[in-house]
Structure 1
Amino acid sequence: MTGVHYLDAKGPEGMRVYAIGDIHGHLELLTEMHARIAQEIARDKPEDWRIVHLGDLVDRGPNSRGVIDFLIAAAKHDSRNIVLTGNHDVGFLDFLAEPDPESLFARHGGRETAMSYGVDLKTSDAAGLWHSHRALAAAVPDSHLRFLRTLPRSISFGDFFFCHAGIRPGIALENQDPDDLIWIRNEFLNHPGLHPKVVVHGHTPQAEPEVMANRVNVDTGVYYSGALTALVVDGTEKRLISVEVPGVSGRR
């Protein structure tokens, strides 16, 4: 199978694309990233642009509700703001539908998400789980549910394919399993060959962005590093930008 190498990959002519990694409830960094992008767009005046958010909007960070509100407003204001879903976003919906104390949401940052809606999530006993689940289900606005339920799992621009986790090698992009797009790790991360397009993803946090021949990982573990990262594609030019919490990331 022939493929595209990162060094040769190009974005669509006349379009600048920003791809933002996992946000995990960090509204302050998301707003800072958007402000930086807006400044660049105002300064450089590209013919067209897109901002792609690679999923995992919720969990672990302090303001998942605020992140969702922000992105709903951004997409309504300009449809060039594109939001993809991640496994944590799907896990949030799954928990609202069925309160499993062993679920991804309950075990990996859902308590912080619930707190952003004013609910203290209890998972250690059945009664606490039942009551706090009912409170959370009542607290989440219908607009948030509709938004999360309609998020796509991938999008493509030029020689780049954007998704949350990655793809299964050897499978055509249009035939990828939806679960792989938000969950896959080792089979994708360890694959040495080129893909039909360069895959831009998050899902697997790293201390620094990973730029490989066949993929770019922009998940820099915002919930513990304090750094939110984005890839910028403008024709043949590719670069990385980041915003950071002073005193947390250690890179300022």
Structure 2
Amino acid sequence: MRIYAIGDVHGRRDLLEMMHAQIESELERDAPADWRIIHLGDYVDRGPDSKGVVQFLLEAEKRDSRIISLAGNHDRGFLDFLAGPEPDGLFARYGGKETALSYGVDIDFTNAEPCRKGHAALMDAVPADHVTFLADLLYSASFGDFFFCHAGIRPGIPLDRQDSQDLIWIRGEFLNYPYLHPKVVVHGHTPHDEPEVMANRVNVDTLAYKSGILTALVIDGAQKRILSVTGDISA
């Protein structure tokens, strides 16, 4: 099985489309016996077209069940804001304004009343199937010797007993852990200029919304490689 694990998209539908076009070209050329495309979360916020990213992924998963999307902390933050407007929550503080704008809503997060009005308008603007798609996102996936999630795992806890909050939020305890895990963890969440390839984990978050570089890890049997697409900076 060939696996493509794609890092944080953050509203860059242009890069996501480029990545899928590259993957489709490779799959057509090489015709592997089986394949999966795994998106590692954070589809919304910061970039210009969160709505387009969600729609793209929703349609892609409908076309082929081998395309998998995992939850990121920003995706959960979007749902949390839809459930109750908080002018100082994750969505408001870290790129939610751009997400709302992609749905045609300009929210003023400066205080509770305009935030509430913006929330009401956003509730009307977000399609029900987008909410369902985000709410149904899995927190992890596992194939062979690799474990896939958004942020990482808590060391010492069995993979099947990881807390969902750790899977989308953890940093220090996971990033600084020097030993092997039960499987190699493939993740995003913590951006770097270049992908991090280490013995116990691989980080493919290359700050796509700002750098214009979207990165994936390709696993094909014993062969592993990095695949990147490049577009406009801060499109």
TM over 0.5: yes
Query: 1:133 and 2:119 equivalent?
Result: yes
The corresponding residue for 1:231 is 217
Instruction: Return the match for 2:29 from 18, 43, 46.
Output: 43
- Residue 73 of structure 2 corresponds to 87
Q: What residue number does 1:104 align with? A: 90
Which one of the candidate residues 105, 117, 120 is aligned to 2:106?
120
Amino acid at match of 1:161: F
**Post-superposition offset of 1:127:** 2.1
The code of the aligned residue for 2:214 comes to: L
1:161 equivalent in structure 2: 147
Shift of 1:129: 0.8
For residues 214 and 30 of structure 1, the distance between their equivalents in structure 2, rounded to whole angstroms, comes to 27
1:19 is displaced (CA, Å) by 0.1
Shift of 1:223: 1.5
Question: Which of 32, 41, 44 in structure 2 is aligned with 1:55?
Answer: 41
CA RMSD, 1 decimal: 0.8
Residue number among 197, 221, 227 corresponding to 1:241 in the alignment: 227
CA distance in 2, matches of 1:172, 1:126: 42
Letter in 2 for 1:243: V
- The residue type equivalent to 1:222 in the other structure is A
User: How far apart, in 1, do the equivalents of 2:27 and 2:167 lie?
Assistant: 29
Aligned partner of 1:78 in structure 2 is 64
TM-score (ref. length: structure 1)? 0.92
Match of 2:198 in 1: 212
Task: For CA contacts below 8 A with separation 6 or more, give which structure has more relative contact order.
Answer: 1
State how 1:20-31 maps to structure 2 within 5 Å: 20-31=6-17
Amino acid at match of 2:132: R
Question: Of 146, 154, 163, which residue of structure 2 is paired with 1:177?
Answer: 163
Matching of residue 143 in structure 1 with residue 129 in structure 2:
yes
Measured against aligned partners, the alpha-carbon deviations of 1:5-47 in whole angstroms (never above 9, x if no partner) come to xxxxxxxxxx100000000000000000000000000000000
Task: Provide the C-alpha distance between the structure 1 equivalents of 2:146 and 2:220, rounded to a whole number of angstroms.
Answer: 11
1: CA distance, partners of 2:112 / 2:145: 49
Identity of aligned residues (%): 65
Q: How far off its partner does 1:154 sit?
A: 0.1
SS at match of 2:71: coil
**TM-score, length-scaled by structure 2:** 0.98
2:53 is matched by which residue type in structure 1? V
Q: Unaligned 5+ residue runs, structure 1? A: 1-14
Q: Distance in 2 between matches of 1:151 and 1:25?
A: 17
**Misfit runs of 4+, over 2 Å:** none
* Superposition deviation, residue 126 in structure 1: 2.3
